[in-house]
Structure 1
Amino acid sequence: MVSRISTISLSVEKENRNGSTEETADFEKAMEICGNGRYQHTLLLVCGVIFMCVGCQYGANAYILPSAECDLDMRSEEKGLLNVAFLLGSVISALFWGVFAGAYGRRNILLLTLFSDSILTLIGSFSQSFKLFLVFRIISGFMMGAPGSLLYTYLGEFYAEKHRAKSICFLGFFFTLAWLILPGLAWIIIPLPISFDFYGIRYNSWRLFLGVISLPIFTIAVIALIYPESPKFLLSQGKTDEALVIIQKIYAVNTGRDKSEFPVKELLSEAGFEFKKDKTPVSSSDMLAELLKNIWWQLRTIASPPFLKYAILLWTIYFTNMFGYYGFSLWQPELFNRFESYHQSHPNVSVTVCELIHNTQSMNVTILEEPFVLLANEATAECKPHIDDRVFINSLTINAVCLFGNIISGHLANRVGRRTMPVITMLIAGIAGLGMYFVKSSLQIVITACIFSLMVTTANIVLSSVAVDVFPTHISAVALCMMACLGRCGAVASNLAFGMLLDLSCEIPIFLMAGITIFGGMLSFLIPSKDKK
C-alpha cells in the first residue's frame, strides 16, 4: 500500500512537471502546489487589519468612559456596566456566528458584521443617553464577536497545513498591536477642544474618537470584498468548481504564471460532505440542521471521558486568565488618572490606590477618570476637560511591553513543557496583581502593570495553543469556542466586580483579581504533559 502511494505521488510529480491537465487532488495537495506566497501575505495583512479593528473595539471603552462620564452622567457602576456591555455582546455571539458561518460561509458573515458594526458604531457615537449608548455597545460587541472568532478559521483555510499554525500566530500579533495603537489614537483625539451642539445633540472629542474607530472598520470591509470565500469551506459544500477557480488564482499570484497552468483540474470534496455534481444543492435550512447536529455530537464527545476533565480544566484556567486580563486592562486608565490627579494637588504625598480613594471620598471630592474632575461644590458641579498626558504614555508603555508576550510565547512554546509557561506566567501575574495594592506612585503602578500585563498576555496566548494541542481535531473547534465564551464571561465578571466594588472597597476587586489569577496558575499544574493522551 505504501509503495502504491509512493508510485502515485511520483506520478503526480511527473504530471506536474509535464504540465498535465488530468490531475485530481484534495485541498491540502492543491494548496501545497500553490505554495505560500504573495496572495497569503496580502490576505494576512488584510485579516490583521481587521483583527486590529476588533482589538480597538474591545479596548475602546477604557478611553471613552472617562470623557463620556460627564455627558452620560455615569458613576462607577454605570462605567462597569458599559465595559460589560461590549463583552456581553461578544459572549452572546460566541457560538451564534460560528453556526451561521458554517452554514452561510465565513466571508459573508465577516462582511455582514464588519459593515454593520462600522455603521452602528458611528450612529452610536451620537447617543445622548446612557441607556441608548449601552444598547449600541452591546450590539457592537455582538457584531465584533464574529471577526474576533472567525478570522482564525477564515485565514487558516487559505494555507496548506504546514503553514497554517504560523499564520495564525502572526494574526494574533495584530490584536496586541491594536492595544498599542489605541492609547496613541486616544491621546491625539480625546484632548481636542471639540464640542458641537446642533438640534439638541452634543458631539465632542470622545464621540469623534468612536467615529474615527468606525472608519477603518468600514474601509477594511470594503477592501475585504475583493477576497473570495474560503476554498476549503466551498469544498465542504461540494462546490469544487468554485473552489478550483479560487485556488487557481492563488497559484497565479504566488508563482506569476497563468492560472491555466495550474496542474490540478479537479478537486476532491471534503470528507463528510460527499456531493455529486448533478445533485441538487442542499438547502440552507438543511445545512444548518446538519451543522447543529454536528455541533451537538461534538459537545457530547467533549462531555465524555477523557475530554471532559481536560475541557473543564482548560476552560476554568482560561476564565481566570481573562478575569485578570480584562479586569485590569479596561480599568488601568482609571487608576493612572487617580494617581496623577491626586499628585498634582498633593505633590509630596505618597499614597496607595485604596488610600487615595478613601481620602478623596472622605473629603467629598470625587476624582473622575482620565480627562475630568468633578468639583466638590455640588452647586457649581461641572465637568472640566483636563487630559493628563501621563495616562496615555503609561498605557502606551504597558501595551508596548505586552507585544513581547507574542514573541516570548512563540519562541518558548516548543522548548518548555506544556504546563510550564501557564504556571509561571499566571503565578507571576497574580503576585504583580497583589503588588498593585502596595504601590504608592504612578511610576510604581506602571512597573507593576507592565509585569502583570506581560505575564497574563503571554499566558493567554499559550493557553490557546495548549487547547489546540490537547483536543483532537474533530472537537477542537467547539472546545476552543466554548473556552473563548467562558473567557469572555470572566472578563464580564471582573469588570462588574471593579465597577461595583472599586469605590465601595477597592481592596476587594484588587485582591479578587490577584487571587483568581493565582488560582489559575495553581490549576495549570494539572495540565497534562505532552506524553499523556
Structure 2
Amino acid sequence: MSKNEENDLTQDSDKIPNDTSGNRNLEEQDNVNNEHTASDNKESPYTHSAAETDGPSLPQRSPSMTYEDMFDLTGHGRFNFWALIATSLFLWYSAIETLSMAYVLTPIECDLALSVAEKGLISSGCYIGLLFTGLCWGGITDKYGRKKVIVPTVISCLFFSFLSSMSTNFWAMFFFRVIVGTMLSASFSTVLVYLGEVNTRAYRDKAVSWAITISVTLFIVIPALAWAIIPGRWTINIHTMIVRPWRVFMWMWSLIGGMAVLILIFLPESPRFLYAAKGIRAALPAVVQIFAWNKKKKKEEFPVITLASTSTTILDVKEKTLKETVNHMSLLLRKPMLMPMLITHFCMFIVHLTVFGLYMWLPDIFYATMQHLDLKISMCDIIVIKYGDKGLKNATRVSMFSGGGDTGETCAGLSSDMYPVSMLAEFVFMLPYFGLSLLIHRINKIHIYSVTLGVSQVLFVMSAFIRQPIVAMILIIFGTASAVPAILTAMADEVFPTTLRATAMCTMFMAGEIGTILGANLMPLCALSVQWCWGLFICVAIANLASCVWIEVGWPNVEQVRAIMEERGFPY
C-alpha cells in the first residue's frame, strides 16, 4: 500500500469502511439478514476482515471470530470506568427520587396543608409512574437504542423534579411526581442493560454488581445531606411561594442526575444493541471507539479481525410496526424465555416486598425501639406499641421523622435522632453489596442468591420473636439488608437476548415496585396484634424461601437458552 493511501485511510479513521468491495459485501449481508432471506449455503460476507471496514491493512488475527471475541479485544479501561461512574450516578439519582421523599413529606405537610391520604399519594407518585409505563419504555428502548432513551428521559426527569419542588399545592406536586416516575421508568433499568452491554464477558457481572454497590454506598450521603439542610429555619419569599430548606434539598438531587447525563453524552451507544439492530457496520465505530479509549491507541490500530459466519439474524427493529413490536415482546412469554421471565419477576417482587417495602418503616421502628430499651419486647411488640393504638394516622412512612406526634407536633419540628439512625441503617444495608461484588464472578449466582436470602430470612423471622430490643433491631437490619436484587439483575442480563433485554428488565423492576408498594402497606396489618405480626413475618419469609427453591430447581441452562435464541435470530 502506498504512503498516500495510508494517509487517506488514517484521515478517515472514524468512518467505515474505505474499501468499496468491503462496503458492498457488508451492505449486502445486512440487507439479506434484515429481510430474513440469508442462505446457509452462501459464503457469509462477515468473513471479510475488518481491514476492509476500518483503517490500513494489517495481518489477520483469526479466521473465525465471533462478535463477543471481537468485543473482547477492546479490553477494560478508561471507557468502562466512566460507564460505571455514569451508571452508578443514574442508579443513585433514581433511588433518591423514589426514597428520599420520606425526608421531605414531613416538612411539606405544613407548607402544602396535606392530609394523611394526600401525603400517601405524593409518596407513591413516583411508583405509580414506574408501574404503568415500564413495559412501554422497555419496547421503545429495545427498538431505538439505550442511549437515545436514557439521556432525554433523565433530562425530562430533572425538569419535572424541579417543577415538583416548586409546587404550592397537592395536585401540582402529585402530578409532577407521577411524571418523574414515568421518566425514571425509562432510565432506571435501561442503564443497567447499557452497562452490561458495554463490558466484556469477563467484567459484565462485576460491572453491574459494582454499579449497584456504589449507588447503595452513596445513598448514605442523603440522610447526612437532609440532616444538614432540612432542620434549617430560614425562609425566602418569592411572590406567592415560600422557599424553605426542603425545596433546596430537592434541588440538590438534580445535581446528581445532571452529572450522570453529562458523562453519558460523551459515551457511544451500546455496540451490542447496534450489532443486533443494524449489523456489524453500525456497531464497528462504537467498538473501535471503546478500543481506542481503553487501549490508549488510535482507532486505526484496532486489530484486524474476521467475523465467523453465523446463523444469527440481525433484526431490523427500527422498521417494525406496532403489531410486530408487540409480537416481538410476546416472545418473552414463550419457551425458552418463559421460565426465566416467571422466576426473575416473582423473585424481584417478593424481594422488593421484604427489602424495600419494610425499609420505608425502619427509621420509625428504630426510633420506637430506642424508646423501649428497658423492656423485654420483640420487634412485633414494638410495632404493635408504635402503631396499634394509633390506627392508620401515624402508620405511614412520613411519620419516621416526627417521633410519633400529631400534625401540630410534626410541624413544630423534626426529630434529629432520625438522621443518624438512617445513616446507620444505610451503612449496614450496603455491606452485602460489597460482598456480592467480590463473589459474583467466583461463585454460582444462583447459590449466592439462595444462601444470602435464606440466611437473611431466618434473621428476619427471629427478630419477630426474640424479646431483646437491641438484638431484635440488629436482626431486622440484617434480615432486610440483602443484595439479591443485584444478583437477579445480573442473571437477567445474562439470559435475555439483546433485543429483548430492556423489555424484560423494565417489567422485572415493575414487578419489584408492586412488591415495594404491597410491603409498605403490610405494616398496618402487622400492628393489629402480635399474632398478626408473627403470621405476616413468617409468611413473607416462606415466600422468600420458596423463591430460593424455585430458582435452584427451575432456572434453565443459560448456554442452552442462548443457543436456542441465537438460532431464532436473537443475538447476545
Which residue among 379, 387, 399 is the counterpart of 2:415? 387
Which residue among 321, 336, 341 is the counterpart of 2:351? 321
- Quote the residue 2:484 is aligned against: 459
C-alpha distance in 1 between matches for 2:73 and 2:181: 39
**TM-score of the superposed pair, with normalisation by structure 2:** 0.74
- The alpha-carbon deviation at position 186 of structure 1 amounts to 1.6
Q: Deviations over 1:359-394 (max 9, x none)?
A: 667999999724447876x9x777112332x31212
Amino acid at match of 1:130: F
- Quote the residue 2:30 is aligned against: none
Amino acid at match of 2:399: E
Contact 1:318 1:487 in 2 (8 A): yes
- Quote the residue 1:84 is aligned against: 124
Q: Which moved more, 1:118-127 or 1:286-295?
A: 286-295
- The alignment status of 1:141 with 2:141, answered yes or no, reads no
| 1:23-422 matched pairs, under 5 angstroms | 27-238=67-278, 240-264=280-304, 274=314, 284=318, 286=320, 290-301=324-335, 307-308=338-339, 311-338=341-368, 343=371, 352-358=382-388, 369-372=399-402, 383-388=411-416, 390-413=417-440, 420-422=447-449
CA 1:428 to 1:335, structure 2 compared with 1: closer, same or farther past 3 Å? same
Percent of residue pairs identical: 22
The secondary structure found in structure 1 opposite 2:220 is helix
- Quote the residue 1:3 is aligned against: none
- The alpha-carbon deviation at position 125 of structure 1 amounts to 0.6
Ranges in structure 1 where 5+ consecutive residues have no aligned partner: 1-7, 276-281
CA 1:289 to 1:164, structure 2 compared with 1: closer, same or farther past 3 Å? farther
Q: Which moved more, 1:407-416 or 1:45-54?
A: 407-416
- Quote the residue 2:543 is aligned against: 519
Q: Which moved more, 1:187-196 or 1:240-249?
A: 240-249
Amino acid at match of 1:528: E
CA 1:461 to 1:227, structure 2 compared with 1: closer, same or farther past 3 Å? closer
Q: Which moved more, 1:137-146 or 1:430-439?
A: 430-439
C-alpha distance in 1 between matches for 2:480 and 2:257: 26
Q: Which moved more, 1:352-361 or 1:154-163?
A: 352-361
CA 1:212 to 1:415, structure 2 compared with 1: closer, same or farther past 3 Å? closer
Q: Deviations over 1:455-495 (max 9, x none)?
A: xx233333444556677888766555433221221112222
Amino acid at match of 1:386: L
C-alpha distance in 1 between matches for 2:350 and 2:392: 34
| 1:485-524 matched pairs, under 5 angstroms | 485-498=510-523, 512=536, 515-524=539-548
C-alpha distance in 2 between matches for 1:365 and 1:298: 39
The secondary structure found in structure 1 opposite 2:236 is strand
Q: Deviations over 1:255-295 (max 9, x none)?
A: 222222223489899975559xxxxxx79453665443321
Contact 1:126 1:202 in 2 (8 A): no
C-alpha distance in 1 between matches for 2:433 and 2:448: 13
Amino acid at match of 2:200: A
C-alpha distance in 2 between matches for 1:210 and 1:65: 11
- Quote the residue 1:5 is aligned against: none
The secondary structure found in structure 2 opposite 1:194 is coil
CA 1:391 to 1:134, structure 2 compared with 1: closer, same or farther past 3 Å? same
Contact 1:65 1:79 in 2 (8 A): yes
The secondary structure found in structure 2 opposite 1:161 is coil
CA 1:338 to 1:347, structure 2 compared with 1: closer, same or farther past 3 Å? closer
- The alpha-carbon deviation at position 339 of structure 1 amounts to 5.3
Contact 1:46 1:224 in 2 (8 A): yes
Q: Aligned Cα RMSD in Å? A: 4.2
Amino acid at match of 2:362: Q
C-alpha distance in 2 between matches for 1:485 and 1:375: 34
C-alpha distance in 2 between matches for 1:143 and 1:288: 21
- The alpha-carbon deviation at position 212 of structure 1 amounts to 0.9
